[in-house]
Amino acid sequence: MLFKLPDLSYSYQDMEPYIDRKTMEIHHKKHHYNYINSLNNAISNTDMINLSIKEILRRSHIESPVIQNNSGGVYNHNFFWKILIPSSKFESPGLTFNNIINKNFNSFNSFKEKFSNIALNHFGSGWIWLCINNKKKLNICSTSNQDNPIMYGTNCEGIPILGLDIWEHAYYLQYQNRRSDYISSFWKIINWKQVENNYLHAIETIDEY
């Protein structure tokens, strides 16, 4: 299949003041679109044209760096837009999912601190993930560039349920070099209902992973 730029369920300005309108627009219409266009070009004359994005991700490491980078860019951004929500409508997890976080990280604050520290100290561009591993435990890890936990060989394997884009194009217009401020703002616009739905789906499918 050929991939298309997905519509967002909110407007670019809806993430303000946490992510400015211009950054959202460029990130979605330029960067995300470029990954989609480049992936479509890379697979157009191959048998991968009939694969889903997840199937491509699982093969990307044996295909080419172009396919690996751009398939990651497509999946990661598709995922990222869905776990954002305007105006902090779901600023904290529901009781059930909060209990799951507590079980894995002792407390929500401990989880938030660990995730934020990994994001802050990750060198260069990449992503920070909350994943379900094959033991059905929550794990925080990071990947470089556009790699993600679905790919082989990232040392961050699992099913992602939450992810943060720490490429500079995700925040530099507003925050410049202040990545820590961008990370703090991220916690105000997480769609925790979507994250919990991601978790429930991951638990159901991890044995097939």
DSSP string, 100-116: HHHHHHSSHHHHHHHHH
Domains within the chain, CATH numbers bracketed? 20-86 (1.10.287.990), 88-208 (3.55.40.20)
Rounded to whole angstroms, the Cα distance separating 71 from 10 reads: 24
Say if residues 136 and 172 touch (Cβ distance below 8 Å).
no
- Beta bridge partners, 140, equal 130
Q: How far is CA 70 from the centre of its chain?
A: 14
- 162 forms beta bridges with 130
User: Average pLDDT of the chain?
Assistant: 94
Return d(Cα 85, Cα 79) in angstroms, integer: 13
Beta bridge partners of 138: 132
Task: Give residue-wise pLDDT tens across range 144-167.
Answer: 999 999 999 999 989 999 999 999
> Do residues 174 and 167 lie in contact, with contact meaning Cβ atoms separated by under 8 Å?
no
| pTM, two decimal places | 0.95
Strands (E), the chain: 126-132, 138-144, 159-165
Residue-wise pLDDT tens digits, 60-100: 988 899 999 999 999 999 999 999 999 756 567 888 899 99
Q: What percent of the chain has pLDDT over 90?
A: 87
3-state secondary structure of 120: helix
Rounded Cα distance, 98 and 107, in Å:
8
